[in-house]
Amino acid sequence: MRKIFPVTLVTVAVSFVFATMAAAQTDSVLYVPRVVDSTLEKIEKDSDSLKARRDSVTSSIRKAQKDLKEAQRKARKEFRFDVSGIHAPDSPGVFATVFHFPPVAQWRTGTCWSFSATSYIESEVARQTGRKIKLSEMHTVYYEYLAKARHFVQTRGETWNGEGSEANALIRVMKEHGAVPESVYTGLVPGEAHHDHAALSAEVAAYLDYVKAHDYWDEDAVVDHVRLILNAHIGAPPTEFKFAGKTYTPMTFLANVMKINLNDYVDVISTLSFPYYTQGPYEVPDNWWYDSTYYNLPLDKWYGAIVSGIQKGYSIELGGDVSEPGWYGQKDLAVVPDYDIPSSYITPASREFRFHNQTSTDDHGIHVVGYKAIDGRDWFLIKDSGSGGRRGQFWGYFFMRDDYMRLKMLCYTVHKDVLRDLLDKFPKVTASRE
């Protein structure tokens, strides 16, 4: 007969067993020190120590190299020439000059074209109206950036030339956007005392690189984005402003205050690349919109117009090469030394040869504001916004001799009246600036 235990007794027994098991398996949560492999720890410390020693050696080497380069920079010599035999003007005061404002610096920008052309137009306003108005260089620069961005899209990324341009870009920009006094738009944001466009130009270039890399050709959107970059770096130019108690827009200021006819200005070169007494292109990168309206004159006529123009009270905006030893900032001189080429050897061919092999390049824009004859040589007073014009005795000025003008200066902008007789020799149908 099977023995049967009471249910309650079984239940109690089972409960006791599980309770005993639970009590035996209960754990506590503890944080204890991490056990580190002492060998691995030593290897890690040795590695850090070795890296520190190597970094120290590298740092020492780099410092030594930096110090060496600095010493070499300070000891570096420039290839120049002995000026003792040159009978140069004594000072800017000996020149017969046209009205111009004192030199201003472009500082860390590639906008010499705007500074020289703006100075030129200031002189033209004074010559024609008697009004002496300091104009904003940066107003033109602002809209030239936008024009380049638009052209970049239109050519699908084939054009973008950084900060560079030509003097006649100012004429083109003013026709479309007018002009403003410097007093209402300096292009300096709060806290800035000098122009520095390094970050601006780099940011625009990086954005346009992105546009090209992604085939993003929405013209208005690209231009608007570049506008935002400009606004951040140099501020937005005014659309309306007060001047002499009256309210103007940039266009009404141009028409009613400056009162000059922008169609009266012509650009002149002397080149063998296309026939004289015809118009054609100035084939340099800064002519990024490929203006083909340059009047081509024989060298003697090209140079003669400069001399006669400045003697009659017209100034001239010049573009050309300033990278030669003869451009000597510490001495305020621009001459062609005899070891380069004797003056009598400067011909259309020798001039063209230098342009063709790119020893004469389109470096810089400057403004001719005065003239002086000394010992049968022509000297020109040059107003210069570049750093070269701030190294000598006369801040912002250069004395340029006739040989440098004929050999190294490549183009100029001038009022058409200076060339009236010469322009009659050109075909009546001329190329368009547009």
Q: What CATH number does residue 283 fall under?
A: 3.90.70.10
Is 53 part of any domain?
A: no
| Dist. CA 425–CA 333, nearest whole Å | 35
**Which residue, chain included where needed, has tokens 């020190």?**
33
Q: Considering the domain boundaries, does residue 190 fall inside one? A: yes
In eight-state DSSP terms, residue 358 is: T
Determine the pLDDT at residue 190.
93
In eight-state DSSP terms, residue 22 is H
Asked whether 118 and 140 are in contact (CB, 8 A), the reply is yes
Domain count, the chain: 1
Tell me what percent of the chain is helix, strand and coil, each rounded to the nearest 5: 45, 15, 40
CB neighbour class for 39 (10 Å; exposed up to 12, middle 13-18, buried from 19): exposed
Q: Three-state SS across 158-210?
A: CCCCCCCCCCHHHHHHHHHHCCCEHHHCCCCCCCCCCCECHHHHHHHHHHHHH
Alpha carbons 397 and 331: distance in angstroms, whole number: 10
DSSP helix/strand/coil, 97? strand
Residues in contact with 307: Cβ distance below 8 Å, sequence separation at least 6, in sequence order: 371, 378
pLDDT value, residue 267: 98
Degrees, nearest 5: CA angle 96-97-98: 145
Q: Which residues pair with 248 in a beta bridge?
A: 241
Residue at 11 is within a domain: no
List Cβ neighbours of 433 (8 Å cut-off, separation of 6 or more).
168, 171, 172, 291, 293
Distances (CA, A) of 350 to 287, 357, 359, 378: 23, 11, 11, 20
Give the Cα separation of 104 and 116 in Å (integer): 10
Q: How confident is the prediction along the chain (434 residues), in pLDDT tens digits per residue? A: 545 545 454 454 545 544 555 555 667 888 888 888 888 888 888 888 889 888 999 999 999 999 999 999 988 888 888 898 899 999 999 999 999 999 999 999 999 999 999 999 999 999 999 999 999 999 999 999 999 999 999 999 999 889 999 999 999 999 999 999 999 999 999 999 999 999 999 999 999 999 999 999 999 999 999 999 999 999 999 999 999 999 999 999 999 999 999 999 999 999 999 999 999 999 999 999 999 999 999 999 999 999 999 999 999 999 999 998 999 999 999 999 999 999 999 999 999 999 999 999 999 999 999 999 999 999 999 999 999 899 999 999 999 999 999 999 999 999 999 999 999 999 975 444 54
Does any domain span residue 404? yes
Nearest to 406 by CA among 294, 301, 283: 301
Q: What is the pLDDT of residue 10?
A: 47
Residue 85 within any structural domain of the chain: no
Is 86 within the bounds of a domain? no
- Rounded to 10 deg, the angle between the 168-177 and 137-154 helix axes is 90
Range of the domain at 411: 94-423
Cβ-Cβ contacts under 8 Å for 185 (sequence gap 6 or more):
136, 138, 139, 235, 237, 238, 241
C-alpha neighbours within 13 Å on the C-beta side of residue 415? 19
Q: Distance between CA atoms of 257 and 265, rounded to whole angstroms?
A: 18
The CA distance from 23 to 17, in Å, is 10
61 part of a folded domain: no
Does residue 76 form part of some domain?
Answer: no
